[in-house]
Amino acid sequence: MNVGTLNRPILLVEDNLADVDLTLRAFARRQLANPVQVARDGEEAVDWIPRWEAGETLPLLILLDLKLPRIDGLEVLARLKSHSLTRKIPVVVLTTSEEDKDIESAYSLGANSYILKPVDFVKFVDVAAQVEMYWCMVNTPPR
Amino acid sequence: MTAHANSGSGTEARAWIFALLAALLALSTGAVVGHYAQQRELAQERSQVLHRLSTLRARLEGIVNINLSLVHGLTAVIATRPDIDQAGFAAIADGLVSEPYALRHIGAAPDMVLSLMYPLAGNEAAVGLDYRTHPQQREAALRARDSGRTVIAGPVALQQGGVAIIARKPVFLPPAQPGGERRFWGLVSAAIDVEALYRQAGLHDPDLGLRIALRGSDGGGESGPVFFGDTALFGADPVSVEVALPGGGSWQMVAVPADGWGHTNQGALLLRMMSFLVALAAAIMVYRLARAADVLASQGARMHALLQTIPDLVWLKNAEGVFLSCNPRFEQLFGAREADIVGKTDHDFVPAELADHFRDNDHAAIAAGGPRVNEEWVRFASDGHRELLETIKTPVYDERGGVLGVLGIARDITRRTLDAAALRRQKDLLDRTGHLAKVGGWAFDVATMRGSWTDETARIYDLEPEPDVDVAQGLGCFHGESRRAIEQAVRDAIDSGRAYDLELEFRSAKGVKKWVRTIGLPVLEDGKVVRVEGAIQDVTELKLAEVKARHGELVLDSVFQALPDQFFLMDPDGTIRDYRAQRSTDPYLLREAFLGKRMQDVLPADIGERVQSSLAEIGERGGLVTCEYDLPTVDGTSHFEARLTRLAEEGPVVAVVRDISGEYRSRLSLSASEARHRQLFERNPAPMLVYAPDSLRLLAVNEAFTAHYRYSREEALALNLPDLYPPADKQSLIDLLGRLAGLAYVGEWRHLRKDGSVIMIEARSHDLCYEGHAARVAVITDITERKRMEDEIRQLNADLEEKVGRRTAELAAANKELQTFTYSVSHDLKAPLRGIDGYSRLLLDGHYAELGEEGRLFLDNVRRGVAHMARLIDDLLAYSRLERASVHGQTLDLSQAAGMVLDDRRAELQARGIGVKIDLSGLSACADPEGLKMVLRNLVDNALKFTRDSRSPTLAISGCRTEKSVLLAIKDNGIGFDMRFHDRIFEIFQRLQRAEDYPGTGVGLAIVHKAVQRMGGRVWAESQPGQGATFYLELPR
């Protein structure tokens, strides 16, 4: 386990409240230690950039839904990946879209992972656990 | 004679001369005579010998030929009587084997076995001889048979005694059928007694003066053995001739003078040298007499008498040219007595120039040391006549070799020369005229069958002129029928003294085919034909001209047979001189009906008058005059056209008459049809016009034209075609018109009417002959209205296209909207589902006890509904994705693709114990990899689903290749379906089973259908309820 990662937050960009709640619950079931910050739309997500520039702790991981009000998820991704400060932050696209176009675009813009959100809650919890396990414990993030 | 009688001193002087002569000759006999003979006469001697020898040869050949011709007659008889017996043979042969001929015996060997013989007596031993096996005679006999010619063998010694030449002649029978091959009958052999032959030829003649030898047994020529005379003669520089034998062989005959060369005393030579030899003899005798003085006087008198009477001039001059003596003939030359001549020189009697010439000859003889011969014309002083003298001058030497003087002997050769010259001239004249007339002369002796011919004859034969010709050679140029005719004629001439005059075809030595007229006139002596003389004329050109003329006539006839015309040749007054036409049975058209009559008279009076005036017209101005008339014929009435023209001014008139009834009738009907056509033109509802292609002037317009264009007819006919066109179109019209000739044309143009209004027209035009001139007719259709409607339609079409484009764009936009809609809906619908499911689950987990049995059941149902909804959304998305996805066709191995799909389902297949059979080896299809996988997966899943209750479920995938595609069959033994619902199963959200029996969204087969459609294939199924189902896939290869 990487000690330096423990306190770094996870940014969840998700407009659907039920999904936010269920995600948080799923993480809670796994006793995830990292705090979870939530951006409720694309605009909120990009608003984080100046705050990080101002010195706030960079998130360990960003979980990004694609279908977002105001600023589209892919647009958010593009901004994150084009900014020197945020470019290295792993972004996991967590979406219900199985569209080839979306998958293709996400990876092209630099997404680090693309995960389909299952409808079945049991499966959803499982997916959340795997994401947390991998990105927060197995993976070594950039420093 | 006079001198001798006159004076004693003269006698003494002559004695001296004789003594001198005798001394001269005693000293120089060898030098003078031998030299002379060698130099001047040896060649003549040889020529004499050759002449004699040629005579002998002619006789030899003649006798052999006569004997053979007897045999030839015999073979001719045999050929007609091949089955002749000994008695018949003897009867014929009897006349042949008799004294006048040299034939000893004649035998005949049918089939090569000697079985007929005459005379039989003494020759019995020879009968039965088989030539084919006889060691000595076989070769010659076979040669005769195989060559088809007479073969001469021998001379051979006969068993019966004597020596004979054997002539063997093959006998051929005429062909059994005309055109067949002649058949060999056998041989006829004749023995010619050589002694009789030699005797008859004169080889044993005691006065022959020649020694003769012959060689060439069996016709072997100069290389054969010697069989007559002394072999040594062949080495004694003999004169040689070739004796030609029938059948191609020959003998060589040679001769030398009986006393050897240079010792000849032949009469001919004696005569030739008479003057000289007389002098010689005289000199010898005088010399002897000088030694025996007692007989001198009487002998001298005899010599003197000889000298007095010989026709030659004899004189003797001393070295200084002073005459010592001369004879009376010489006296005539100088016109002086011997007494006056002796002691003088030539200068005293002849002009100095001639005298010098004489002296020069004297000196030349002295210088040469031997006789000199010269010829010169001299005038006799006695009577002034001229003679050509051949003078021999010989130097005379004394005992010590000193020159005593010159002896001269001169002989008058005027006559000889004159004769020869005249003869030559005559011959030349004959030859020249002969050549001009192509007439040659010839003659031959019957005894020798040899003769001579003129140069022209030789020329006709294409042979070198030669003095001595064999008759056989002359006949050799005739062949076939001509040969038979000429041989018969010659035979008749010889045997019956009948003259002949024949025109025959012959082939010259160079193979040139000629026609000759040959005339033969037998010459009789003592009632017997001894010679035949004749002429031969080359009439080839004449003959060819005749043939040509005959051909010409035939050609002319056949030409008129081929032509339908009648052809008259008339005098200027109409008298018919020749008439030609196809042979006709119509008596009116017979040649005899016209010839000699006037054309005007053979025709009905009214037509005759017209012919008369035509003739008069031709007589006046020549040229061609045509005249047409009707005449009754065997077929009814015919219409004739006579074309008359004269060949020359005042010359004959030629009329060519042709039956033009057909043409005439069509001409009549033509004018009728013309009227009909004019009606058609005038009354045609379409505007029509006729224009001249060169001037473009309108030649005719119809009523419809004037009505439509609003011109009057007069106004229209004053227009040129381009006047109908707007200015902008005129140039392209004129360009077009230049290319139209001979072509039919259809095109659209703008036309102007009189009021300037523009109409659209379609013009159809083509060439026609209008009143004898080239023209074009155009039919006009006003298409203004049609054009307007076409334009309207075009505009409508354009509008429609625009509208369609617009709608399509709208549709595309709508489509796009729909896609976005689908996308959004699926996405947005899933989120609440996840919430329902998630919270249901949390409720179950966190509040299990409070919910109770029933509450938990409700929540499970909620979650099942959510799961179904989620599947529906996924399928719907998959389906819509398929609609939008791009398809990438590539060749895929079907076996592999099916294998992959089944691998995904391996666990279920094994768990359920489903029998799987795949038979797709080697098959491939052109398809999108993902699309194909999706199709196969759905079909397999479908099969698995509906075999759920089968006792032993099976799944078989097989395929086959068709021409352009691949056909797959996926067969199960599940519940199947009613074919009534076949089409519905492929529609989206259509289900045949209740969801609680067979869960599903009703999208799977729709996806299959859509995917197959997108890949250019086809899917269908066959089934019956409870009988399983087979789904067929057809994909492009």
- The CATH number that applies at residue A95 is 3.40.50.2300
State the nearest Cα–Cα gap between B970 and chain A, in angstroms. 29
Superfamily of segment(s) B563-666: PAS domain (3.30.450.20)
At residue B829 the predicted structure's pLDDT band, cuts being 50, 70 and 90, is confident
Q: Is residue A53 part of a domain?
A: yes
Has residue A1 got a pLDDT over 70? Answer: no
Per-residue pLDDT of B766-802, as tens digits, reads: 888 887 788 898 999 988 888 888 888 999 998 988 9
State the nearest Cα–Cα gap between A72 and chain B, in angstroms. 13
**Chain A residue with minimal CA distance to B875?**
A98
Task: List, by residue range, all CATH 3.30.450.20 domains of chain B.
Answer: 312-412, 435-544, 563-666, 683-782
pLDDT at A104: 93
Partner-chain residue, chosen from A67, A122, A124, that has the shortest CB–CB distance to B827: A67
CB B165 within 8 A of CB B154: yes
Q: Tokens 């819509």, residue?
A: B880
pLDDT average, residue stretch B246-270: 67
CB B805 within 8 A of CB B798: no
Q: Is residue A67 part of a domain?
A: yes
Which amino acid, B705? Answer: F
Is A16 in CB contact (< 8 Å) with chain B?
yes
Domain count, chain A: 1
Has residue B178 got a pLDDT over 50? Answer: yes
Per-residue pLDDT of B667-678, as tens digits, reads: 777 677 777 777
Q: Is residue A38 part of a domain?
A: yes
Q: Regarding predicted confidence, which is higher, B12 or B807?
A: B807
Q: Regarding predicted confidence, which is higher, B233 or B715?
A: B715
Has residue B4 got a pLDDT over 70? Answer: no
Contacts B823 to A, Cβ<8 Å: 97, 99
Q: Among B601-605, B639-643, B835-839, B1028-1032, name the most confident range.
A: B1028-1032
Strands (E), B162-310: 163-173, 183-193, 210-215, 226-228, 239-244, 250-257
| Reduced 3-state DSSP string for B618-630 | HHHHCCEEEEEEE
Answer left, alpha or beta for residue B219, where phi above 0 means left and psi between -120 and 50 means alpha: left
Q: What is the CA radius of gyration of chain A?
A: 14
Complex ipTM value: 0.74
Is A126 in CB contact (< 8 Å) with chain B?
no
* A96–B827 C-beta distance less than 8 A: yes
Q: Which of B820, B824, B830, B869 to mutate to test the interface with A (most CBs of A within 10 A)?
A: B830
pLDDT at B555: 63
**Chain B residue with minimal CA distance to A20?**
B835
Contacts A67 to B, Cβ<8 Å: 824, 827-828
Partner-chain residue, chosen from A22, A97, A98, that has the shortest CB–CB distance to B834: A22
Is A96 in CB contact (< 8 Å) with chain B?
yes
Q: Regarding predicted confidence, which is higher, B548 or B1033?
A: B1033
Partner-chain residue, chosen from A22, A119, A121, that has the shortest CB–CB distance to B830: A119
Q: Give the phi and the psi of residue B526 in degrees, each rounded to 5.
A: 55, 40
CB B569 within 8 A of CB B581: no
At residue B46 the predicted structure's pLDDT band, cuts being 50, 70 and 90, is confident
At residue B218 the predicted structure's pLDDT band, cuts being 50, 70 and 90, is confident
* B834–A119 C-beta distance less than 8 A: yes
Has residue A109 got a pLDDT over 90? Answer: yes
pLDDT at B725: 94
Has residue B41 got a pLDDT over 80? Answer: no
* A97–B823 C-beta distance less than 8 A: yes
Q: Among B388-392, B441-445, B1030-1034, name the most confident range.
A: B1030-1034
Per-residue pLDDT of B545-578, as tens digits, reads: 666 666 666 666 666 666 667 778 888 888 888 7
Task: List, by residue range, all CATH 3.30.565.10 domains of chain B.
Answer: 886-1036
Which amino acid, B882? Answer: L
CATH of segment(s) B886-1036: 3.30.565.10
Q: Is residue A143 part of a domain?
A: no
Contacts B834 to A, Cβ<8 Å: 18-19, 22, 96, 117-119, 121, 124
CB B644 within 8 A of CB B615: yes
Distance CA B330, CA B317 (A): 13
If you average pLDDT over every residue of chain B, what do you get?
A: 78
pLDDT at A5: 57
Q: Which domain holds residue A93?
A: 3-138
pLDDT average, residue stretch B694-714: 91
Q: Is residue A72 part of a domain?
A: yes
State the nearest Cα–Cα gap between B837 and chain A, in angstroms. 6
Is A37 in CB contact (< 8 Å) with chain B?
no
- Structure tokens, B490: 């010659």
Is B860 in CB contact (< 8 Å) with chain A?
no
Q: Regarding predicted confidence, which is higher, B139 or A48?
A: A48
Contacts A97 to B, Cβ<8 Å: 823, 827
Is B823 in CB contact (< 8 Å) with chain A?
yes
Is B877 in CB contact (< 8 Å) with chain A?
yes
Distance CA B636, CA B661 (A): 11
Handedness of CA B718, B720, B725, B726 (dihedral sign): negative
Q: Regarding predicted confidence, which is higher, B286 or B487?
A: B487
At residue B37 the predicted structure's pLDDT band, cuts being 50, 70 and 90, is very low
Per-residue pLDDT of B383-409, as tens digits, reads: 888 887 878 787 777 666 777 788 887
Partner-chain residue, chosen from B823, B838, B881, that has the shortest CB–CB distance to A124: B838
pLDDT at A108: 94
Classified by CATH at the fold level, domain B683-782 comes out as: Beta-Lactamase (3.30.450)
CATH 2.40.110.10 fits B435-544, yes or no: no
Is B824 in CB contact (< 8 Å) with chain A?
yes
Superfamily of segment(s) B312-412: PAS domain (3.30.450.20)
* B835–A124 C-beta distance less than 8 A: no
* B842–A118 C-beta distance less than 8 A: no
Per-residue pLDDT of B305-338, as tens digits, reads: 556 656 678 788 888 888 888 887 888 888 888 8
At residue B43 the predicted structure's pLDDT band, cuts being 50, 70 and 90, is low
* A122–B824 C-beta distance less than 8 A: no
Partner-chain residue, chosen from A99, A117, A118, that has the shortest CB–CB distance to B823: A99
Per-residue pLDDT of B93-146, as tens digits, reads: 776 776 566 778 888 888 888 888 888 877 787 788 888 888 777 888 888 888
pLDDT at B282: 40
Has residue A27 got a pLDDT over 60? Answer: yes
User: B526-537 burial, b if ≥16 CB within 10 A, otherwise e?
Assistant: eeebebbbbbbb
Burial class (CB in 10 A: 0-12, 13-18, 19+), B451: buried
* B839–A18 C-beta distance less than 8 A: yes
pLDDT at B435: 60
At residue A2 the predicted structure's pLDDT band, cuts being 50, 70 and 90, is very low
Among the residue ranges B202-216, B648-662, B685-699, B813-827, the one predicted with the least confidence is: B813-827
